[in-house]
């Protein structure tokens, strides 16, 4: 019965192209995302598992190092760990390369100093991480059937997913302001020498291109057929509250929630007063989860007798999820 | 000089003054609009966090000459940050 429900919910996840796994720290996001990615790759899909959590436990769970570029970890399963500082440095280096190709050495020198200064500001790492993510998400001809993101704890991830909208608004405001300034300057020149000027402004062009790209990413994130967020929690007070907040924030952002994974549920058939007491408490929380997240698919995973690392234990989690 | 010629000259001068005023107004407006744009691009220079900094880096080389005029107009003779050395 339970296995059936799990299997149906899990199959629906496998129909997606992009899955985000999020939840409070320590509830088992990495385990669940790795188990789903593993099962998907075994079912013949080409899967990319991306870790954006700075803790990077993904490589620990597979007992294999993940690189900053996608690499095949197991047959059909590719892994990648995103490092925000590295991505920021790479982004800045790319911009400098472009600048060096397009401008004279005098401009390159001055622009490079400005770029270095701006790139040292706090918060740049976050956008660099976001930018790397968007390149994976927006890739039109993705080489993968399914991309699974193992994300940092909830708050950070939800902010990250709200970014396209926030950044688009900013970029748009900049473009509007610049367009007005350019239009007024053109009126002036036409009044002065009577020659209309239709040359597009390089700044406006660049801003509009950026805005369009952000819109594409946003469209991909809110595409309910392709993209889902999976919320992982354990049956305890604090994770339940955090999951409820995340669910609200995600639906505000228009992002579909694929399932709620109730992880580390006590297994059946144990004895003793300690177990019985734990079990009673858990029953209360599980009822609460069933009521509060009644509208969402729920996947229940029982605790193993040992912690989860290595492919063979991961397979046992996959087996629980996919029944 | 005939009357008609004089009248044309006066009207030309009048129109010229009008256009000069018009041109100056447009120029002032264009500069004010662009100053706000520059502030939005270079917010961190005045100590305000800017969420899109990374996406503006590619604009810097296009804006170098405008940047110089801008910080001068803002009443800062030298580039506002010591290590900026724009001028």
pLDDT at A1: 62
What region, left, alpha or beta, does residue B61 occupy, with left being phi > 0 and alpha being psi -120 to 50 degrees?
Answer: alpha
Contacts of B83 in chain A (CB under 8 A): 113, 117
Give a yes or no: residue A246 inside a domain.
Answer: yes
pLDDT higher than threshold 60 for residue B85: no
Residue found by looking up tokens 């040292």 in the block: A120
Whether A62 and A111 share a structural domain: no
Determine the pLDDT at residue A106.
Answer: 86
* Residue A188 counted as domain residue: no
Interface test with A, best of B37, B40, B83 (most A CBs within 10 A): B37
CATH number, domain at A13?
Answer: 3.40.50.300
Q: Are residues A153 and A294 in the same domain?
A: yes
Say whether both A134 and A262 belong to one domain.
no
Cβ neighbours of B62 in A, within 8 Å: 202-203, 206
CB contact under 8 A, A121 and B49: yes
The per-residue pLDDT for B43 is 86
Residues of chain A with pLDDT under 50: none
Q: Assess whether A59 and A75 both reside in one domain.
A: yes
- For B65, the closest chain A residue by CA position comes to A107
pLDDT at residue A295, rounded to an integer? 95
Task: Measure in Å the smallest separation between the Cα of B3 and chain A Cα atoms.
Answer: 29
Tell me whether residue A208 is in a domain. Answer: no
pLDDT in the model for residue B86: 60
Tally the domains of chain A: 2
State the ipTM, two decimals: 0.80
Does one domain contain both A153 and A135?
A: no
Residues of A in contact with B39 (CB under 8 A): none
Is A61 a member of any domain? yes
Asked if A117 and A232 sit in the same domain, the reply is: no
Q: For an interface test with B, which of A106, A111, A206 has the most B Cβ atoms less than 10 Å from its Cβ?
A: A111
Beta-carbon separation of A177 and B40 below 8 A: yes
Is the C-alpha dihedral spanning B55, B59, B60, B66 positive or negative? negative
Each residue's pLDDT tens digit, A170-191: 999 999 999 999 999 998 888 7
**Domain match, A25 and A112 both:** no
Query: What CA–CA distances, in Å, run from A49 to A19, A21, A34, A46?
Result: 10, 11, 7, 10
Q: Where are the alpha helices (DSSP H) in A253-323?
A: 273-292, 311-322
| Inter-chain CB proximity A111 and B64 less than 8 Å | yes
Same structural domain for residues A127 and A155? Answer: no
Q: Convert the pLDDT of each residue in A51-96 to its tens digit.
A: 987 777 899 999 999 999 999 999 999 999 999 899 999 999 999 9
Q: How far is CA A204 from CA A18, A181, A240, A320, B68, in A?
A: 32, 11, 46, 53, 20
Give the pLDDT of residue A7: 92
- Angle at Cα A95 formed by Cα A91 and Cα A99, nearest 5°? 170
Residue A218's CB is within 10 A of a number of other CB atoms, namely 23
Question: Looking at the structure, do residues A231 and A274 belong to the same domain, yes or no?
Answer: yes
- Domain encompassing residue A96: 91-141
Handedness of CA A118, A121, A123, A125 (dihedral sign): positive
User: Does residue A101 contact residue A62 with C-beta atoms inside 8 Å?
Assistant: no
Number of domains chain B is built from: 1
The predicted structure's pLDDT at residue B87: 57
What pLDDT, on the 0 to 100 scale, is given for residue A323?
77
Q: What is the rounded CA–CA span in Å between residue A68 and residue B31? A: 45
pLDDT digits (tens, 9 = 90+) for B46-57: 778 888 999 999
**pLDDT value of residue A162:** 86
Q: Mutating which of B58, B66, B68, B73 best tests the A interface, going by the most A Cβ atoms within 10 A?
A: B58
Q: Are residues A119 and A27 in the same domain?
A: no
Considering the domain architecture, whether residues A46 and A123 belong to the same structural domain is answered as no
- A238 and A250 in a single domain? The answer is yes
Nearest-by-CA chain A residue for B59: A203
| pLDDT score recorded for residue A121 | 81
pLDDT score at A189: 85
Q: Which residues of chain B have a CB within 8 Å of the CB of A98? A: 58
Which residue segment(s) compose the domain that B31 sits in? Answer: 3-84
Q: Is residue A62 part of a domain?
A: yes
């Amino acid at each position: 019965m339970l296995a059936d429900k799990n299997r149906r919910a899990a199959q629906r996840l496998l129909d997606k192209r992009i899955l985000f796994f999020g939840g409070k720290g320590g509830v088992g996001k990495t385990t669940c995302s790795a188990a789903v990615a593993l099962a998907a790759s075994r079912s013949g899909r080409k899967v990319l598992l991306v870790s954006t959590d700075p803790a990077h436990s993904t490589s620990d769970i597979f007992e294999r190092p993940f690189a900053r570029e996608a690499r095949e970890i197991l047959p059909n399963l590719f892994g990648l760990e995103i490092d925000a500082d590295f991505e920021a440095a790479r982004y800045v280096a790319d911009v400098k390369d472009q600048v060096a190709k397009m401008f004279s050495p005098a401009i390159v020198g001055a622009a490079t100093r400005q770029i270095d200064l701006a790139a040292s500001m706090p918060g740049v790492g976050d956008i660099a991480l976001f930018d790397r993510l968007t390149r994976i998400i927006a890739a039109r001809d993705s080489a993968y059937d399914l991309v699974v993101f193992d994300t940092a704890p909830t708050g950070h991830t939800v902010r990250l997913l709200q970014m396209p909208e926030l950044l688009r608004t900013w970029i748009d405001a900049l473009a509007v302001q610049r367009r007005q300034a350019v239009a007024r300057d053109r009126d002036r020149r036409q009044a002065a020498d009577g020659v209309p000027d239709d040359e597009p402004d390089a700044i406006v062009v660049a801003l509009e291109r950026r805005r369009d790209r952000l819109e594409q990413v946003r469209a991909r994130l809110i595409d309910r057929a392709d993209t889902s967020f999976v919320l992982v929690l354990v049956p305890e007070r604090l994770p339940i509250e955090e999951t409820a907040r995340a669910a609200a924030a995600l639906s505000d952002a228009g992002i579909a929630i694929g399932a709620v994974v109730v992880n580390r549920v006590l297994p059946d058939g144990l004895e003793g007063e300690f177990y019985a007491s734990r079990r009673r408490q858990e029953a209360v929380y599980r009822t609460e989860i069933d009521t509060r997240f009644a509208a969402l698919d729920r996947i229940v995973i029982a605790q193993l007798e040992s912690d989860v690392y290595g492919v063979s234990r991961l397979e046992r989690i996959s087996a629980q999820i996919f029944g | 000089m005939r009357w008609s010629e004089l009248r044309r000259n006066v009207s030309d001068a009048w129109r010229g003054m009008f256009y000069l005023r018009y041109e100056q107004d447009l120029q002032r407006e264009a500069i004010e609009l662009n100053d706000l744009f520059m502030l939005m691009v270079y917010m961190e220079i005045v100590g305000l966090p800017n969420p899109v900094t990374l996406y503006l880096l590619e604009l810097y080389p296009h804006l170098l000459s405008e940047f110089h005029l801008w910080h001068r107009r803002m009443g800062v003779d030298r580039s506002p940050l010591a290590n900026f050395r724009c001028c």
